[in-house]
Structure 1
Amino acid sequence: MGGFSMTHKRAYNWYISLVAASCMVLYGYDASVYNAVQGSKNWVAYFNHPSPQIIGAINTAYTVGAIVAGFFFGGPVADYFGRRIGMVAGACFVILATFLQTFSPRGDIGCFIAGRVFIGIGQGLALTAGSIYIGELAPQEIRGKIMSFWQMFYSVGSFIAYWINYGASKHKAGLGEWDWKIVVIFQLLMPLLIVAQAFFLPESPRWLTKKDKIDAARRSLRRVRDTDQDVEDELLKIREALEFEKEAISSTYTALWKDPSVRKRLLLAFVLNAGQQITGQGTLNTYSTIVYKKVFTNANTIALINALNATFGIIFTANATWTVERFGRKWLLIIGAIGMGVCMIIVAAVETETPVLSGGGKSEPVGISIVFLLFLFIFFYKPTWGATVWIWTSEVFSMNVRAQAVGMASQTQNVANAIVQQFFPIFLNNCGFYAFYMFAGVNFLLAVFVWFLIPETKGMLLEEMDTKFGGANHVEQGGEIMGVEDAHHADLSGKMAHSEHKEMA
């Protein structure tokens, strides 16, 4: 398998995976930027003091764009045009949307909302293609470790957005309306970098093989695998799996409902991805400013806490890089859910059982305790339900449905988030921090769900993942159809002789 040492090709594998993971910076930045600009009085004034309904519509516009793109376009674009084009198309939509939002005419909230829709479409395309790309090119023994950077880059996006916002909030007088525009326009940085690098990356060998571009797939694998034997073994397994899927199931998306094993995975992935957002993280990321206003009265303090939260998010996600391959996906999800549930119970108890000061807010020790507990929540969330849900989702589907299934599953995050975001502000307003008891209960239920229903996928070859869900081994079955003697090992001498014969001819 090329070993575990950091060879030149292994380092290159990390580089291309990190470029693809940059798609998640787009998501992290955008998920945080709207939360940030709502705190700008200049933004509120620029758009003529939008009503709470309009504020909700701006959020919903993004979510609708992402859901539509993820469910209906992300998979087909990544499957028809390739994983790289999927990432580039998503980045281009984000670039267009950034200009629409930054330079919306004064008072034209419709233009700003249109920008939010395009951002959502860009996310739906880029996140589908990027996560699949990493899963399909990463060596199986470090796939989880590499994929953990996917969630870390979400935190990097939040980090950039909140610190730019914090810096802008310190210079409001000098910046004027650019105190929010500068936060929005910085969103150009990462999509431009993705577009500039994407076409220099190797295309997914699994996508190339599916398109019958075998030599191109071989060249692609040679750029990221250490030996010719590694290349030919992996290429053989990919071809066998595709042959079996075409002959015995379906090479089209109909396998999503024809294959019981795929149906089962899709339902499990829907629950995991929806669960990721109803742990409380999605709500905190969107409404942390409103939550902290119940504890702190100073807007600068809240902006600083948000920025520090994003900073620690990067550090906490790094824990996934050494835990996900050591302990496995299932263990991380269970420990994370229990830890988050306990944090939510204590946060709710601390806030609801302590007095409110005469000037509003809470005493300094109570405020610090709540911030600490919400940071502890992030400590549990980031390497588990943050990173691991993406890892699991990107690796469990067979090639014939992978792009479509990952697109649909990942967008259930936005479906769940949209539902929770609609009622959470009302819930928080009416019930205060008692709302967090609900999240505690959800987290404990998720731990039980994972314990009984989610199989461990650590170290599995993508093409053999079906065996974990009651399906056939696509490699071995495909090998039988192709008449291959050893389904897991390519006869390199025969292939080299054939290659030399072709060159001489």
Structure 2
Amino acid sequence: MATFTMTRKRGYNWFISCVAAACMVLYGYDASVFNSVQGSKNWMAWFGEPNSSVIGSINTAYTVGAIFGGFFLGGPIADYFGRKVGMGTGCVLVIISTFMQTFAPRGNLACFIAGRCIIGIGQGIALTSGPIYIGELAPAEIRGKIMTFWQMFYSVGSFICFWINYACTKNVPKLGEWDWKMVVMFQLLVPVIILALLPTIPGSPRWFIKRGNNIEKARLALRRVRDTEEEVEDEILQIREAIEYEKEAISGNYSALWKDKSLRKRMLLALIINAGQQITGQGSLNSYSTKIYQKIFTSSSQIALINALNATFGILFTLNAVWIIDRFGRKFLLIVGGIGMGICMIIVASVETQTPVLAGGAKSEPVGISIVFLLFLFIFFYKPSWGATVWIWTSEIFSMNVRAQAVGMASQTQNVANTIFQQFFPIFLDNCGFYAFYMFAGINFLLAVFVYFFIPETKQVPLEEIDALFGGANHVVQGEEVLAHQKGLQAQESSEKPATVTVEKVEHR
């Protein structure tokens, strides 16, 4: 019977985490959808053949929305209204913006751009709440495995989008303008599913205690995901101790991010590795894969198929992290991933630049296959390491008082870095070709060195005790003293009250 109970609750842990991780499908789908519709002649004709500058503005609108949502809205919504409300709000905005993009009137590019901006805001909000929710509900010993699904679901989003797009490119005469509208419209699928499932999952116990000191609701939430009553009570005590210490000794609000030296250090490290995630080369491959493959292949359907297969293998490669993240640790994965990606980039650049170009401007078939294999090998290293592990590490290093805001800011640094980097990468690629990949190799090696010297291991460390890894106080131990002091004062007050009443009665008589 005990085994059944443990299996059931552990399975429920996975279920609620997958519901939250589905927010990442929104990101993965949208990161691929605009890249896909640009290849549609019907989309270009519908909006009056926009030039490269206008297309760049559409990309910028999404990025600006995501940065605004993540930096300024995601944290406050998750903290004041709850993690579930944050995820739900993001999904509603994605649904609204999907309709705006799909049914934008002919020639009305402003409506399409507004939809891109709103979808960015929605994703900025959802991508703040999702990983925090998973980190706060998952048991420490499997937190890394569960958070792996966060990155895997990004690949699921790309998978859905690229295969739908591939199918549409094969049926353009039948679909007409719906060859691109169908790709955009399918973005409704996942947010609708998330909204339907949100009522079936518990709220965050840390949020219940943080916002209203509602210990009973926190206890009920934990009972749904923990195996024993002892685990429930121990975790509630740890949460209360950590929160009390943060209120008394640091700050109960976001000002702790610059008041506390340990938090400042964590914020800087999180900003660096989140920016690093986007300059490994994966951000450029995702945004400009078609442009990159056009230098190797001449068939557009062949390129679409390669993109779809890339997304498919991305899912499988991310799953590798499930069995290695809590075995070998976050630091090990980031270092090995950085070195592996660097080596892949060196070989890709060497193969492409040192082989002859055919008359049609493409490479020979063996060279093309070799480059595709190497770029697939690159994502083999990227997905479980700088793909999944960066999100895992970021979501678990911050204390409760600043977690939502800090995760939102750190994760949106990915968009900031990507926006800046992608401004010059297409020019770099046009002028230097695959020599640009040597730059990525150098960046990846530097990131591996940075992790070795500056990133501490957080494997299987309880959230409330992670502060000690960064030179801060153990919030549980310190909070225990705060609570003990408060109890002592309460006991003293209660012992003094009856004595006062007795004296008053005697004097009255």
Contact 2:28-2:155 at 8 Å conserved across structures = yes
State the distance in 1 between where 2:201 and 2:377 align: 37
- C-alpha displacement of 1:173: 0.6
- Counterpart for residue 377 of structure 2: 376
- RMSD between aligned residues: 1.3
Aligned to 1:427: 428
CA distance in 1, matches of 2:236, 2:268: 30
Which stretch has the larger CA shift, 244-253 or 42-51? Answer: 42-51
Q: SS of the residue aligned with 1:7?
A: helix
**Residue 3 (structure 1) shift:** 9.6
Letter in 1 for 2:378: F
Q: 1:484 & 1:361 partners in 2: Cα distance? A: 74
The aligned amino acid for 2:285 is: L
Q: CA deviation at 1:355?
A: 1.2
Task: Find the aligned partners of 1:479 and 1:175 in 2 and give their Cα distance.
Answer: 65
What is the one-letter code of the residue matched to 1:240?
A: E
The amino acid of 2:100's aligned partner reads L
Contiguous gaps of at least 5 residues in structure 1: 486-505
User: Is the CA contact (8 Å cut-off) linking 2:5 and 2:227 kept in structure 1?
Assistant: no
Classify the secondary structure of the residue corresponding to 2:303: helix
- Residue equivalent to 2:466: 465
Amino acid at match of 1:438: M
Query: Counterparts in 2 of 1:263-412, with a 5 A limit?
Result: 263-412=264-413
- Summarize the Cα distance change of 1:26–1:139 in structure 2 as closer, same or farther, 3 Å threshold: same
Report deviation, 1:199.
2.1
- How far 1:484 moved relative to its partner? 8.3
Question: Is 2:201 the partner of 1:201?
Answer: yes
In the superposition, relative to structure 1, how do residues 50 and 6 fare at CA in structure 2: closer, same or farther (>3 Å)? farther
Could you state the TM-score of these two structures normalised by the residue count of structure 1?
A: 0.95
Quote the residue 1:90 is aligned against: 90
What does residue 180 of structure 1 align with?
180
Tell me how far 1:5 sits from its aligned partner: 9.3
Shift in Å, 1:6: 5.3
Shift of 1:183: 0.4
**In the TM superposition, what whole-angstrom CA distance separates every residue of 1:116-166 from its partner, at most 9, and x where no partner exists?**
101100110000000100000000000000000000000000000000000
Q: Which has the larger radius of gyration?
A: 2
Q: Partners in 2 of 1:199 and 1:358 — Cα distance?
A: 60
Counterpart Cα distance in 1 of 2:347 and 2:329: 28
CA displacement at 1:420 relative to structure 2? 1.1
SS at match of 2:200: coil
Q: Helix, strand or coil: the match of 1:226?
A: coil
- Cα displacement (A) at 1:233: 0.2
Paired with 1:151 and 1:409, the residues of 2 have a C-alpha distance of: 16
Q: Is the Cα contact below 8 Å between 2:6 and 2:227 reproduced in 1?
A: no
TM superposition score normalised by structure 2: 0.94
How many angstroms does 1:4 deviate by? Answer: 12
Task: Specify the alignment match of 1:19 in structure 2.
Answer: 19
Deviation of the 1:356 alpha carbon: 1.1
Which consecutive aligned stretches of 4+ in structure 1 deviate over 3 angstroms post-superposition?
2-6
Residue 34 of structure 1 pairs with residue 34 of structure 2: yes
What residue number does 2:490 align with? none
Distance in 2, Cα, partners of 1:484 & 1:91: 44
Q: 1:58: how far off? A: 0.7
CA contact (8 A) 2:152 2:315 kept: yes
CA distance in 2, matches of 1:360, 1:102: 36
State the identity as a percent.
Answer: 72
- The verdict on how the C-alpha distance between 1:95 and 1:412 changes in structure 2, with shifts beyond 3 A counting, is same
Deviation at 1:275, TM superposition (A): 0.3
Q: Residue 3 and residue 272 in structure 1: after superposition, are their counterparts in 2 closer, same or farther (change >3 A)?
A: farther
Corresponding residue for residue 49 of structure 1: 49
C-alpha distance 343-484 of structure 1, shift in aligned 2 (>3 A): farther
